[in-house]
Every structure is written in structure tokens, then in C-alpha cells.
Amino acid sequence: MVELLIGLFLSMLLTAAMLLSYTFLVRSLIRSSNQQQLEAQSRKALQMLSQDVHVATDVQTASSSQLTLTVPKVDAQGHAITDGNGNVITKVVTYNAATGTLTRTDPDFSSGTPLTLLTGVSNFSFNYLDKQGSQVNASYSLRIKQIEVSNFIVSAGTASTGTQSSYTGASARWVLRSKHLVVY
């Protein structure tokens, strides 16, 4: 009887250890998956912003949490339409700290609702620079020639379940290639 109890106790101990190992592995896989998704979403969002900035002809408004760009309309091949009829659109990228979202409003989308680029974002901020690379106050939109995104954090998962992952990202400096600067 004692040997049976010892055997039962050892098998329960082994089963508990296997269950804990399995739980740890599942959480690790979920964290790894979250990390990959966060990196991919961040790269995609930064790529979209980069494309918008590179073709922008003007910065209409700028702040640390919102950027409004004038972008020429393009055809299916990505070439600017130059028919002289003012074919430009305004793209607004907004970071909402309260909801932790980064959105882009694009009038080319028929729904008119903003496209959510990232969720779970914190510490997001636009930085503006002149053509020499010196920091520029966002209120001087005529002097802005370069834009960068400072370190931001994107998180997914929950801490209570042990599946929370975060990704810290930043952009390179994007040059407004199509913007002509006025002499100041």
C-alpha cells in the first residue's frame, strides 16, 4: 500500500511538472507569435508612412501626434497624375494616446473611415527637421523637410496570462522629396 501511494505521488508530481512545462511552452509560443506580428505590423505602418512622406508635396499641419500631408493623386502604376486640375489629396496620420492607436485618413478609401495602422501603441511622437537635419518646431511647417518617428512601443497580449509582448520601433528620417522649400 505504501509503495502504491509513493508511486501515485511520484506520478502526480511528474504530471504536474509536464503540465507546467506545457503551459510555459504555450505561453512562449504565443509571446513569440505576438512579437512577430507586432514587428510585421510596425514595419508595414512605417512603410506606408514612408511612402506618403516621400511623395508629399506639402506639410499642411504638424504636431507631435498628428501629421497632415498633401499628396498628389497617383494612377494604378504609382505615377503622379499631372492634369493641372489640382489632383491632390490630404492624408492625415493621427496618434491617439487615449486609445493607443495610430490611424491614417485616406480619402481614396470609399468608406471614409480612418485606416488603423497600429493598436496598442504608446510613446509615439513625430519629430520634424529642416533640410540640414536640425530640429524644427512643428508650427513652422514651411521649414519642415524631414520627418522621423521617435521611439514608440507597441504591445499585444496580457501580462496576467504571461503572453504580453512588446516591440520598440523608430523610423529613419524621411525626406519630403517632392516638397519645395521657401527661402527663409
Return the exposure string of 24-55: e unless at least 16 CB atoms fall within 10 Å of the residue's CB, then b. Answer: eeeeeebbeebeeebeebbeebbebbbebbeb
Look up the pTM and report it. 0.77
Q: Is the pLDDT of residue 17 over 90?
A: yes
For 82-92, the pLDDT digits (tens) are 545 566 778 89
Are the C-beta atoms of 146 and 175 separated by less than 8 Å?
yes
How big is the chain by its Cα radius of gyration, in Å?
24
Q: How confident is the model at residue 58 (pLDDT cuts 50, 70, 90)?
A: confident
**Segments making up each domain of the chain, as ranges:** 2-175
